[in-house]
Structure 1
Amino acid sequence: MMDSQHIGKPEQVDARTVTGGHFRYFDFMMAAFVTILLLSNVIGAGKVAEVDLPVIGVQPFGAGILFFPISYVLGDVLTEVYGYARARRCIWAGFGAMLFMAFMSWVVVAMPPAHDWTNQAAYEAVFGQVPRIVFASIVAFWAGEFVNSYVLARMKVWTGGRMLWTRTIGSTIFGEGVDSLIFYPLAFLGVWEPWLVVQVLVTNWTLKVMWEVVLTPVTYIVVGFLKRREGVDVFDNDTNFTPFRTQV
């Protein structure tokens, strides 16, 4: 556990017993979580791609959907291995990073370009995000990730730590569901037809959950590795589940 050199079966412990403790890989997991969150919003959000599916035909989709669900997979790993309190800390770190990213994008895009710099239009197309969409994205992420983490932590206690796949997929169904229910109406209702908002909401929610199912074997490998290396298996039996704190 934590500083132990022995690698074996992890010890089942209550989250309170590791409060304030240091873990070997937690910082790396937090960095990966925030990095994927930011890059999926910066690089993936602005591009609409399309795929030619058998029978269905050509379907457009937001390129960010390929990578954003990985942040939920990492959220599952963080909660499963380190407990709700540390996952909560990562969510707040991601929330702060997204706020700063939005602010920095707005400032840089708004700055007057040099007279001989001809890329302002392209820069605005990539980084000049609509404030309404940015707001919807940040609020949806915050709510969805906390629901995802809460559901997984509670299901882990209910199942006694067995059947990991039930809580990774189950928590994603609820977490991504809340994310989608907040984001698409906030971002596009009144801009798109209501039926289109509902269609895109359901389609993208389904695709995100399917991504979780596909990545389940990877989740098992990562969770197993981290639990063995850290030496603990954290259960949130008496955890304070309020989202409005960062203490671990």
Structure 2
Amino acid sequence: MNDTAQAAPSAPIGMLEKIGGSAGARRHFRYFDYMMAAFVAILLLSNLIGASKLSSVGGFTFGAGILFFPVSYVLGDVLTEVYGYANARRCVWVGFFALLFMALMSFVVVAMPPAADWGCASSGDPQFAALVAKGSAGALCQTTYVSVFGSTWRIVLASVTAFWAGEFVNSFVMARMKVWTGGKYLFTRTWGSTIFGQAVDSLIFYPVAFLGTWTNADVVHVMITNWAFKVLWEVVLTPVTYAVVNFLKRREGVDVFDTDTDFSPFARTASV
């Protein structure tokens, strides 16, 4: 680690070394791997655990995953702001392939025939005793397993495509606005990038996943309300974003500006 990186923890924000995007892509960062791991973990968990449950609070019904999935966009903002577009691009691709593997694993595991004596919470519940007696514990457990982890090809295609496109738009807007604003007014970048990134995400996901299954009115209604909710989440989490960005910049000792970056999603990141 070089002397600049070692001195970074005590460097005030105004005295950070300003570097271009290509230099940032080649630089070794102390906390980048941790941030990428957190980004991918939240992405996978919000799709795996939250996506299949509908919740109703105060008469408002929503997908439970919406509470946590926007955190991945906050982390995407942090990654772009602190480490530059090229490094954020790496995270998007890692998340994309992680989602593909999760989908493949889900399809394979769900399709495998269950063991007749496979036990689960449902098979041990007295209210399902009659169903177990008519069939088997495994058959009942398979039904509940499919309801949680099963998904149609449309949902998977919509989710993966929407994430990929939305996250790249989010990072692009974030990086370009940072250059335009000279690194000032972070909240304008986080809000602006989320408005555009989540708009692309929603415009892809809901029509691909539900058009023809839901009414057109329902697709439009859910698409708009969920987009607004995600943007609101970004606004609410602004103080957290500021705290994380400032902490990481001080620790890394640099401020990356994408003045010389190739913004193609398929551009190759320079070697460290």
User: Into which bin does the TM-score normalised by the smaller protein fall?
Assistant: over 0.9
Of the candidates 31, 43, 46, which is equivalent to residue 40 of structure 1? 46
Map 1:14-25; keep pairs closer than 5 Å: 14-25=20-31
| Counterpart position of 1:133 | 155
CA distance in 2, matches of 1:188, 1:18: 40
Give the residue type in structure 2 aligned to 1:41.
Answer: N
Query: 4+ residue stretches of structure 1 with deviation over 3 A?
Result: none
Give the residue type in structure 1 aligned to 2:174.
Answer: L
SS in 1 for 2:6: coil
| Counterpart position of 2:170 | 148
Distance 1:65 1:246, change over 3 A: farther
Of the candidates 3, 17, 37, which is equivalent to residue 11 of structure 1? 17
Write out per-residue CA displacement over residues 25-84 of structure 1, whole angstroms, 9 at most, x where no aligned residue: 0000000000000000000001000110xxxxx111000000000000000000000000
Distance 1:246 1:129, change over 3 A: farther
Higher mean C-alpha deviation, range 110-119 or range 87-96: 110-119
Higher mean C-alpha deviation, range 14-23 or range 198-207: 14-23
CA distance in 2, matches of 1:33, 1:228: 20
TM-score by length of structure 2 reads: 0.87
| Counterpart position of 2:145 | 123
Native 8 Å contact 2:22 2:86 kept in 1: no
Native 8 Å contact 1:143 1:178 kept in 2: yes
SS in 1 for 2:5: coil
SS in 2 for 1:4: helix
Once the two structures are TM-superposed, the CA of residue 114 in structure 1 deviates from its matched residue by 1.1
| Counterpart position of 1:111 | 112
Give the residue type in structure 2 aligned to 1:208.
Answer: K
Give the residue type in structure 2 aligned to 1:217.
Answer: P
CA distance in 2, matches of 1:126, 1:147: 30
Map 1:167-182; keep pairs closer than 5 Å: 167-182=189-204
CA distance in 2, matches of 1:240, 1:127: 38
Write out per-residue CA displacement over residues 78-117 of structure 1, whole angstroms, 9 at most, x where no aligned residue: 0000000000000000000000000000000111111212
Once the two structures are TM-superposed, the CA of residue 168 in structure 1 deviates from its matched residue by 0.3
CA distance in 2, matches of 1:43, 1:72: 17
| Counterpart position of 2:125 | none
CA distance in 2, matches of 1:182, 1:107: 26
SS in 1 for 2:267: coil
CA distance in 2, matches of 1:19, 1:139: 25
Give the residue type in structure 2 aligned to 1:8.
Answer: A
CA distance in 1, matches of 2:36, 2:26: 16
| Counterpart position of 1:99 | 100
CA distance in 1, matches of 2:66, 2:25: 35
Alignment of 1:183 onto 2:185: no
Once the two structures are TM-superposed, the CA of residue 198 in structure 1 deviates from its matched residue by 0.3
| Counterpart position of 2:81 | 80
Larger Rg: 2
Give the residue type in structure 2 aligned to 1:3.
Answer: A
Aligned residues with identical type, % of pairs: 67
| Counterpart position of 1:164 | 186
SS in 2 for 1:113: coil
CA RMSD of aligned residues (A): 1.1
Give the residue type in structure 2 aligned to 1:112.
Answer: P
Map 1:189-228; keep pairs closer than 5 Å: 189-228=211-250
Distance 1:246 1:32, change over 3 A: farther
Native 8 Å contact 1:88 1:246 kept in 2: no
Write out per-residue CA displacement over residues 187-213 of structure 1, whole angstroms, 9 at most, x where no aligned residue: 001001101100000000000000000
TM-score by length of structure 1 reads: 0.96
CA distance in 1, matches of 2:237, 2:56: 22
CA distance in 2, matches of 1:246, 1:40: 28
Higher mean C-alpha deviation, range 234-243 or range 12-21: 12-21
The size of the alignment, in residue pairs, is: 243
- Is there any run of 5+ residues in structure 1 with no aligned partner, and where? 53-57
| Counterpart position of 1:27 | 33
